[in-house]
């Protein structure tokens, strides 16, 4: 049995094939849309916000070819966190808390990415985009 006989004896009609092809190609549409949306997010300027107990302590500008430097946050009770900024990314290098999870977190660089959190010191570092494109934000 050749292909033409198979098509004639089956329940598949020519329009069925067209519909299947249309649905297959349209299933890739979200991939294209979200890919374009993510490239637009990379064009926005970004900044990292250091918050302790919900209060903004310092804002770091994150630029692609920006300098590499460290910042040491020291609390009155002797807690400290050493933060490194390298171009458009930021990380926690050293801290005197017990678990060191914030140091193991590594680099963050994208708006809306899971923040660096040092829970024993109640310190959080988040990356925010200047155009408000991070997750959960609304522009009115």
How do residues 53-111 score in pLDDT, each as one tens digit?
A: 989 999 999 988 888 999 999 988 888 999 999 988 999 999 998 888 999 989 998 88
Residue 138 — pLDDT band, cuts 50, 70, 90?
very low
Q: What is the DSSP letter of 121?
A: G
Q: How far is the C-alpha of 116 from the C-alpha of 83, rounded, in Å?
A: 10
- Domain positions in the chain are 3-41, 46-129
Can you name the CATH fold of 46-129? mini-chromosome maintenance (MCM) complex, domain 2 (2.60.320)
d(CA 46, CA 1): 63
End-to-end CA, the chain = 63
pTM above 0.75, yes or no: no
What is the CB neighbour count within 10 angstroms for residue 68?
9
- Tokens 């708006």 sit on residue: 111
Asked if the model's pLDDT at residue 124 lies above 80, the reply is yes
Cα 21 from Cα 74, distance rounded (Å): 61
Does the structure show a pLDDT above 50 at 10? yes
Strand order in the sheet with 80-86: 68-74, 80-86, 89-95
Write out the E strands in 25-137.
46-52, 55-62, 68-74, 80-86, 89-95, 116-118, 123-129
pLDDT tens per residue across span 56-71: 999 999 988 888 999 9
């Amino acid at each position: 049995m050749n292909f033409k006989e198979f098509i004639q004896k089956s329940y598949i009609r020519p329009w069925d094939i067209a519909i299947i092809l249309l649905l297959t190609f349209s299933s890739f549409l979200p991939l294209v849309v979200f890919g374009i949306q993510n490239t637009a997010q990379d064009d926005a300027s970004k900044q990292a916000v250091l918050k302790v107990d919900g209060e903004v302590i310092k804002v770091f500008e994150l630029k692609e070819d920006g300098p590499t430097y460290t910042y040491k946050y020291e609390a009155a009770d002797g807690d400290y966190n050493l933060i490194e900024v390298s171009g458009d990314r930021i990380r926690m290098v050293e801290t005197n808390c017990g678990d060191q999870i914030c140091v193991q977190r590594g680099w963050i660089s994208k708006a809306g990415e899971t923040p660096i959190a040092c829970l024993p010191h109640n310190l959080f570092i988040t990356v925010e985009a200047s155009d408000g494109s991070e997750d959960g934000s609304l522009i009115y």
